[in-house]
Amino acid sequence: MFVPIKKKLIAMVALAIFAASGASAATVTSSAFAGGAAPGDPVCGSSPGSGQSSVPGSANAEYDSSGPGCNAVSSATAGEGYVSAISVAGGSGNGGRLSYATSRASATFTGSQLMFTPDEGYTDAILSDLYGDTIEITLFASFSGDTSADTTANTSVTTGSSGTIEASVRFGSALWQKAVSSAVVSDSGHITDSDTLAESISLSQNVNWGQGSTIIMGIGTRASVANVQSGAPAGAIANGSNTLSFNTNGPAFLLPEGFTVNAPELSIFDNVWVDPRITQPPIDDPDVVPLPAGLPLLLCALGTLGYFQRRSTS
């Protein structure tokens, strides 16, 4: 979502005044992990090394490993109201040996002490008279992800590949969780499978508006290939880089009349989430199209998978 610079600056000035009034600030913790084989997983390369981080604000992790006839790549990011992850695995069975590869990634965002406060023209006393201590609030979020698996077998050896995404959102005691997966196994011939999911999420919760609320978003991806033979490549991708995040088109929450939410730590301005990964264009060049930060990663991953697919058709 693109938000004009002028509008964002006005919102930030208003939030500075809001913060100066002594209102409680939300807190954010983000964690990201990217790695290769876990115990029992197929291994690619000589090192199962990984990268990870867990910090306030945003976090990211990347992993890239290659070995004889195999490649495993993964990456994860988490930040103010979003999580994304992608895993890619491929094998070509070069050198007459069987190839194996696994990549994994996960990211978690936690926003706590999120306060719902009086909108303009309202006060705590007015809202208490209208609603008491408890109100129903609906969180809006969105998720998009896709998986694919491709394998070829030309002997009696059974070859397999799989890609899986698991995503979840928790708002208080309300929970949304979904999985997307593709898996193929072949002992003869070429087989492919794919799956995709794009979903608008709404979670309703009764909250004490005088106390802070907590929101947790999480995503995990895994891609794997096994028993890949020479001359019969296989590949898998679990693409969660399109993000699980707050709503990108409209309000972040459905609130009773008289309430709003301002949480710059979560990139929420007057109940609108502003994606912090989108680069704002210069003021004197309004025609510049914002570039999502995860696009280079996705292009790299798709290029890796395309390499093994091209080899399967050669």
Express each pLDDT in 75-124 by its tens digit: 999 999 999 999 999 888 776 667 888 899 999 999 988 999 999 999 99
Confidence of residue 158 (pLDDT cuts 50, 70, 90): confident
User: Higher pLDDT residue, 58 or 183?
Assistant: 183
Q: What is the pLDDT of residue 63?
A: 86
Closest CA to 164 of 65, 83, 88: 88
**How do residues 164-215 score in pLDDT, each as one tens digit?**
999 999 999 999 999 999 998 887 788 899 999 999 999 999 999 988 899 9
**How do residues 185-198 score in pLDDT, each as one tens digit?**
887 788 899 999 99
Q: What is the pLDDT of residue 121?
A: 94
| Alpha-carbon span 170 to 271, nearest angstrom | 18
- Contact indicator for 107, 59 with CB cutoff of 8 Å: yes
User: Poorest-confidence range of 49-58, 128-137, 244-253, 264-273?
Assistant: 49-58
Residue tagged 């988490």 (tokens):
78
Mean pLDDT computed over 12-37:
62
Mean pLDDT computed over 305-310:
53
| Alpha-carbon span 109 to 218, nearest angstrom | 6
CB atoms within 10 A of CB 270: 17
- Contact indicator for 149, 183 with CB cutoff of 8 Å: yes
Confidence of residue 305 (pLDDT cuts 50, 70, 90): low
The pLDDT of residue 20 is above 60: no
Q: What is the pLDDT of residue 148?
A: 95
Closest CA to 76 of 273, 239, 314, 281: 239
The pLDDT of residue 232 is above 50: yes
Distances (CA, A) of 121 to 55, 117, 126, 127, 134: 37, 12, 10, 11, 20
Q: Phi-psi bin for 189: left (phi > 0), alpha (psi -120 to 50), beta?
A: left
Instruction: Quote the tokens at residue 48.
Output: 């199962």
User: Poorest-confidence range of 4-13, 56-65, 66-75, 261-270?
Assistant: 4-13
- The domains of the chain are located at 5-313
Between the CA atoms of 85, 88, 89 and 90, what dihedral angle is there, to the nearest 10 degrees? 180
The pLDDT of residue 304 is above 90: no
Q: How high is the mean pLDDT of the chain?
A: 79
The pLDDT of residue 294 is above 60: no
